[in-house]
Structure 1
Amino acid sequence: MIRKKRVKPYDLLCYEALFRRLKEKYRDNKTLNKEYVNNLAGYRGEQTLDYKLSIYPQKGLYVYQGLRLKVNNHFFQIDTLILSSKFILLVESKNYKGQVKYHSDSDQLIRTIGKNEDGFQSPLLQVQSHEMQFSSWLQQHLSLHAIPTESYVVISDPATILQNSQNDPAFYEKMFHVDKLLPKLDELKIKYTRNLLSKQVMHSIDEKLLQQDVPRQPDLLKQYNLTNDHVIKGIQCNNCGAFPMKKSLKKWQCTSCLHVDFKAHERALLDYFLLYQPTITNNQAREFLQIGSEKTAYTLLKSMDLRETGKNKARVYHAPPLENYPQHSFVPNKKKAVMEI
């Protein structure tokens, strides 16, 4: 059963919010666009992995789609974790394109697309590190030892060509196209037949995993040296992308295409949480939404059922959890980039 369902990660949501809000003359930053496309490709690869696992019989399995855990004061990310009473499996998804050649002597991958070559640290080392970190996590939080743990790297694009330059036999056992994952799961069930974890222990692991998961949220304004002057304020039309929409009674209307939206302020406030900080005051909301009325800002904030702390002038509204963010986002001027990944 799926115990934690994958949602669009903060990394991608933050980039989408930035492209909605960044003044147009700053949107052609090559590094910014490359990182957005890389994040989007990675997420799509993870979705491919999720689909493949969805058609596999999951009786007796707990599946966690995306975890970020902390051990020894360091965080580590697991794309997919599968917990059973007999073994634990960590799966890393890679959405490489073109031709990928593995060099076991240097533990490096060389990706070739046309005439361009890029080098990457071996993802096999990455998942090996995740195995060790997760074993340490189990020991620290649950005092569990010696649970059989396996790890795989799956390539989500079936057109990607994998080459093993030194013919390392471990390579194809650990790294393969996603279509091979389900047969590999069958192999693990044959390999591990002894029940090592009781239902009570599995419940304890499940509870701790969900409790300790801490999604990463980047600060893109700081990362790209952007200031408030680079950001567009106000309510954006999710039909044409224009600013601003104007308030008329209980609705917002676009001044460009005349599109009407009753909840356009919600996307704007979520953009604030993604770009600035996970809390907002009435004054900050008025400044960001470009509205003058304290009462109107109060009404808009209350309508989103956000968690609140403090009272009156000291009242602070808190961002919703990650799973409450919209999964389909309007991103202006990104169609070409999306088509190219």
Structure 2
Amino acid sequence: MKRPTTSHFRVGRQYSTILNTRSRNSIRPLAVGTVLSFGALASYYFFFPDASRGAPTSKHEKLSPSHFTPCTITSSEPCGPNTRLITLKIPPKFLPASDEKRFSSIWSIFVKDDDIQVERPYTPLEGVDAEGQMRFWIKKYPHGEVSRWLHSKEVGDEIEIRGPLQTWLWKDDDVWDEVVMISGGTGIAPFYQLFHDIISQGVSPRTKFTLLHSSRSPSELPPSAILLPLSSFASENPKRFQFRVFVDTLDPTDEIDRLKVNVGRINRATLVSSIKEQSSPSKWWMWPLKKSAELDIDVRKTLFLLCGPEPMITALSGPYGRNFSQGPVGGVLEELSATSSQVYKF
């Protein structure tokens, strides 16, 4: 799960078309001072790291958000165009207590690129096991410093991480009748963690879950290590979990085992049909009511979680707010009358 983090500074200066020489001279020092102030601010931002990027490295303390801890790459497997399944291992003695809330789904860690001292957050698919292993599905982006750096690493190489950091907390109180997760590309990672820790473990048994995942082509779909557990659980627990996969295009020569792929993008019709299908009445005498029932998101207490490319997020739920805050609900979900309390954008 990757988000842009670079801040951009824009300095605007307005000049009146009617200024005499004296007024121009009086304004010039102020304008120069303003430019110098913004220049100093920009220089400070780019050349002096913030507290997180300047966090120290500790080889003796337990894993923590306040410092970096060395770990080792134990596996790095290519699994599609520009993607890899990468497994990291941290010595078990450095693991915090497993019952800490920071390890409650959904959480992530920061990986630091030692070459340029930049860090990026990544979500471990299955959390961390007792042996200290964490597995990630990571895509290499042309301008992604850390992702390209990670892809260049080999088994046995040592890197530094810090965390865990809570991304979003699942509350086990059955407050939601339905949870609809919508992901694109590697944005499936937080939802797979939720599936591994919550959905497949029978937590919140009355809540129904739906995962809608989209990739541009079959070759860019998640690896079988992710897809097969999801599809198998959905087949065995249709009343608990629904899983649907979408691709923009499908070549006739593409072969995808044990997985039904839908061609097209996730849109309003997709959401409505998924919610209605997941909410289908189990009693035969209620079937006639299903056809005439109106979709009522608020009454059924449906939660929408989204993680993926910004264009997808914007189309379905409206753009992020300033500094990647949640922003107001827009797009398809606004049309469906979803409120801000029912939508969360990762």
Q: TM-score, normalised by structure 2?
A: 0.23
Which structure is higher in helix share?
A: 1
Q: TM-score, normalised by structure 1?
A: 0.24
